[in-house]
Amino acid sequence: MNMIKKIIIAALVLTIATSVLSAQQQELTKEQWQQQVTELTAKRNDLKNTYNGLQKEVADLKNKDAEKSAALKQCQDDFAALQGQQEAPFKALSGNIDAKLNELSRLSNQDLYARRAELDSIQTWINAERQNPLSSIKSNEEKLNELQARLDALKKSLEQVIASGQAVQTYKVGTWAKDRDCLWNIAKKPKIYDNAFLWPKIWEGNRDQIKNPDIIHKGQILKIPQKADLTKTEKTALRRYWAKKNSAATAPAAKP
């Protein structure tokens, strides 16, 4: 603003000086002198009006700048508040994922295969967090990349286990009195199938050592087939099992 004022004053001084010089070069009549004074006064008024207009523009720009600065600060404050609200849950969850990855990395090949569904759950969480705007914060982005790298390493190990044929899960039978182990209860265990109705899969997968599915023995090492719906063969075996049970239940009692 000071620079504009200086320019206007300099222009006014230059105009007056030019007029004075011109007046010195030639003798003016009273009417001519009066006309020049009128013209200079008009020019001065125009310059003053221009100066006032420029001052108003500067004031308007300052007001707009202040408004934008206030809006920017409000955005920064809102973002900081949002970050503070979300940062704690993110750190807590990422800490849980970190601990889970540590636990899974210490498992044997068979146990890792049995808990492979947990790898998918971790991947789902990481994918969801990457959609969070706060994932663009450098520290959060670095943490997600670290967790993803560790998860990828476990996935690769699992692929190698499956390719090598070591992925067959097993279960060591306990006692009925202590463990309540029977095919129904074994299939119901969360680490097996979490579904008791899939017990025929264990029976069919261990026909070499289970002749009667109602009878298993302590210490038997049972192979646990991969979780899936019952196959046609397993359904057939189940129907025959119940048919035999019903036949035995309806048979006449033996004479004493």
What confidence tier does 119 reach under pLDDT thresholds 50, 70, 90? very high
The answer, yes or no, to whether residue 26 has pLDDT greater than 60, is no
Residues 115 and 162 in one domain: yes
Do 113 and 161 contact (CB within 8 A), yes or no?
A: yes
The answer, yes or no, to whether residue 91 has pLDDT greater than 90, is no
The answer to whether position 232 is within a domain reads yes
The answer to whether position 45 is within a domain reads no
Residues 173 and 241 in one domain: yes
Instruction: Give the model confidence (pLDDT) of 132-183 as tens digits.
Output: 887 888 888 999 999 999 999 999 988 887 777 666 778 999 999 999 999 9
Q: Compute the average pLDDT of residues 20-31.
A: 62
The answer, yes or no, to whether residue 22 has pLDDT greater than 60, is no
- Number of structural domains (the chain) is 2
The answer to whether position 30 is within a domain reads no
Residues 104 and 159 in one domain: yes
Angle at 11 between CA 9 and CA 13, to 5 degrees: 70
Residues 173 and 129 in one domain: no
Q: What is the CATH number of the domain that holds 232?
A: 3.10.350
At residue 5, the pLDDT reads: 62
Full-prediction pTM beyond 0.75?
Answer: no
Which token pair is 217? Answer: 């023995």
At residue 36, the pLDDT reads: 83
At residue 256, the pLDDT reads: 40
The answer to whether position 104 is within a domain reads yes
More confident residue, 181 or 92: 181
The answer, yes or no, to whether residue 242 has pLDDT greater than 70, is yes
Residues 173 and 162 in one domain: no
Rounded to the nearest 10 degrees, the angle between the axes of helix 30-105 and helix 138-164 is 30
Domain assignment of residue 221, given as a range = 169-248
Residues 120 and 180 in one domain: no
Residues 160 and 201 in one domain: no
What confidence tier does 77 reach under pLDDT thresholds 50, 70, 90? confident
The answer to whether position 47 is within a domain reads no
More confident residue, 162 or 79: 162
Residues 194 and 223 in one domain: yes
The candidate with the shortest Cα–Cα distance to 124, out of 106, 100, 160, is 100
Residues 162 and 174 in one domain: no
Residues 186 and 241 in one domain: yes
Instruction: Give the model confidence (pLDDT) of 177-227 as tens digits.
Output: 999 999 999 999 998 899 999 999 999 989 999 999 999 999 999 988 878
The answer, yes or no, to whether residue 122 has pLDDT greater than 90, is yes
3-class state of residue 169 by DSSP: strand
Residues 161 and 202 in one domain: no
The answer to whether position 87 is within a domain reads no
The answer to whether position 212 is within a domain reads yes
The answer, yes or no, to whether residue 35 has pLDDT greater than 90, is no
Burial code (b: 16+ CB inside 10 Å, e: under 16) for 66-105 equals eeeeeeeeeeeeeeeeeeeeeeeebeeebeebeebbeebe
Residues 163 and 189 in one domain: no
The answer to whether position 74 is within a domain reads no
Do 200 and 242 contact (CB within 8 A), yes or no?
A: no
More confident residue, 230 or 111: 230
